[in-house]
Amino acid sequence: MAEPRHGGSRLLVVDDNKVNRLLLARNIELMGHKVVTVENGRVALQTVKREPFDLMLLDIEMPEMDGFQVLSELAKDLELRDLPVIVTSSLEGLDNVVRCIELGAEDYLTKPVNPVLLKARIGASLEKKRLRDQQKELVRRFATAEVAEDLQQTGFSLGGKRVSGSVLFADIREFTPLAESQPPEETIELLNTYYTLMFNAISGQGGIVSQIAGDGLMAVFGAPLPLADHCDAAVRAALEMIEMIDLFNVEQASASKPQIRIGIGIASGEMVAGYTGTNERATYTCIGDTVNVASRLEGHTKAAERSILIDAETRAGLAPEINVDSLGPVAIRGKAQPVEIFAVKPGK
Amino acid sequence: MPDGTIDRAVFEELKVTAGADFVGELVDTFLSEAPNMLSDLRRALDADDAERFRRVAHSLKSNSNTFGASSLAAMARNLELGGFGAARAGNGEPMSALADEYSRVAQALAELRRG
């Protein structure tokens, strides 16, 4: 995992009091960040509209435009609403703290600010911003334009909604021995190629990749935007993924490099989709029984000796030209009743 | 130096985390800004500007806490929260007590700065 690039971030300190400004700036510089200081809220808004910043430290009690007003203005601005703000104030009263948080402040520190606490909070806020930027980038790159736009508009608030969709899990079989048999650089290159191919197949069918971990990935069809034929789309993506892997293996074989095989599990139904996690770290994902079933089906592909396994709900939503074999009911961990399983036949 | 004017532990901690040289400059800044705050506070009181009065008292409290000037901070806080009522109590005694305490703080900080 890459080192968080916290050093060298740009911070804006907003405080009408010179002693406070100097001291905060000093503490931040000692952490290795760059800092710009301004005297009031009005100048702060002008400054963040003009130059990029990673984080704002905001005082509340200020002439001209106070911190509450700054928070409100930032929340209204599509470009600026994701700029994290830590309120630093010696304001009296818990209701004021609550008001700051409600207005979108990420954190609240009482002045005089404890430098250790300040460092920890700044680190956490920058990390959160980094993840948010990454999430945006991920959405921009791997989602359709409509999905990306929907996410931009609805924002990244925690909390889910109930949706109907299909979940796809894919995993490289026997990946560990494969990874151990070749230099790490080649494994990374192989993974990069693999993910590029998989992402292409998934986004080509209107899905989004919501998680990747090691050699596995999870994709969602039908969220954040509804997809009428999500079962069909997910299975078509899976077929395309298998086809891509076959082509990839031909290339690998001709270069005398190892070939890979993947297993794919798909389940469909109701799930809760949205940003889950904590305020520190959140990710767009789907949760619920459907997700568990998809993951179990993927795990079962090896035993079943099939590349693509789907559940009955997914089967019911398929176009007639896609051929499946019924494998009958299979016991699945976490499910009281055996689950009807179908294998999708590659090719037509 | 009068006892209790500056909480030495707070001041030392500040020097450790921000650096002694920097704290020296910070003291200079405070000593040049604070007299304006005190006169601002007086003017706000005379002009019946409660909002300004509260804000200046708030700033003074905040800076006093930074340097460990606990008594000055407590007095400023009393004015911030109590407003004109607190300032005019006992024939304006809190205002002159504030000015007196500031003189002691300024002297103590100047001494600490010289080391």
- Which ipTM value was assigned to this complex? 0.91
Q: How many domains does chain B have?
A: 1
Shortest alpha-carbon distance between residue B63 and chain A (Å)? 7
Radius of gyration of chain B (CA): 14
Measured CA to CA, the distance from residue A14 to residue A85 in angstroms comes to: 10
Q: Which residues contact A19 (CB under 8 A, 6 or more apart)?
A: B26, B29, B30, B33, B63, B66
Total residue length of chain A: 348
Judge if A52 and A190 occupy the same domain.
no
- Average pLDDT of chain B? 93
Report yes or no: A256 and A230 within 8 Å, Cβ to Cβ.
no
In a domain, A5, yes or no: no
Shortest alpha-carbon distance between residue A223 and chain B (Å)? 49
Q: How many domains does chain A have?
A: 2
Q: Return the pLDDT at A81.
A: 86
In a domain, B20, yes or no: yes
The model's pTM is 0.57
In a domain, B2, yes or no: no
Q: Which residues contact B14 (CB under 8 A, 6 or more apart)?
A: B23, B26, B66, B67, B68
Q: Return the pLDDT at A197.
A: 86
Measured CA to CA, the distance from residue A10 to residue A217 in angstroms comes to: 34
Judge if A100 and A246 occupy the same domain.
no
Q: Which domain holds residue B45?
A: 8-114
Q: Does residue A24 have a pLDDT over 50?
A: yes
- Tens-digit pLDDT profile for residues A253-285: 888 888 889 999 999 999 888 766 665 555 667
- Tens-digit pLDDT profile for residues A98-148: 888 889 898 888 888 888 889 988 998 898 888 778 777 766 665 555 555
Strands (E), chain A: 10-14, 34-38, 55-58, 85-89, 107-110, 159-172, 208-213, 216-221, 262-277, 282-287, 308-311, 324-330, 339-344
In a domain, A153, yes or no: yes
Q: Does residue A4 have a pLDDT over 50?
A: no
In a domain, A92, yes or no: yes
- Tens-digit pLDDT profile for residues A160-217: 678 899 999 999 988 877 778 888 888 888 888 888 888 888 988 888 888 887 788 9
In a domain, B1, yes or no: no
Q: Which of B18, B59, B77 is facing A26, going by the closest CB pair?
A: B18
B11 three-state secondary structure: helix
Judge if A98 and A174 occupy the same domain.
no
Measured CA to CA, the distance from residue B74 to residue A111 in angstroms comes to: 14
A17 contacts in chain B (CB < 8 Å): 33, 59, 62-63
Q: Which domain holds residue A41?
A: 10-139
Q: Average pLDDT for residues A25-44, to the nearest whole number?
A: 95
User: What CATH number is given to the structural domain containing B35?
Assistant: 1.20.120
Judge if A98 and A133 occupy the same domain.
yes
A47 three-state secondary structure: helix
Cβ–Cβ below 8 Å for B63 and A17:
yes
User: What CATH number is given to the structural domain containing A152?
Assistant: 3.30.70.1230
A30 touches chain B (CB under 8 A): yes
Judge if A90 and A168 occupy the same domain.
no
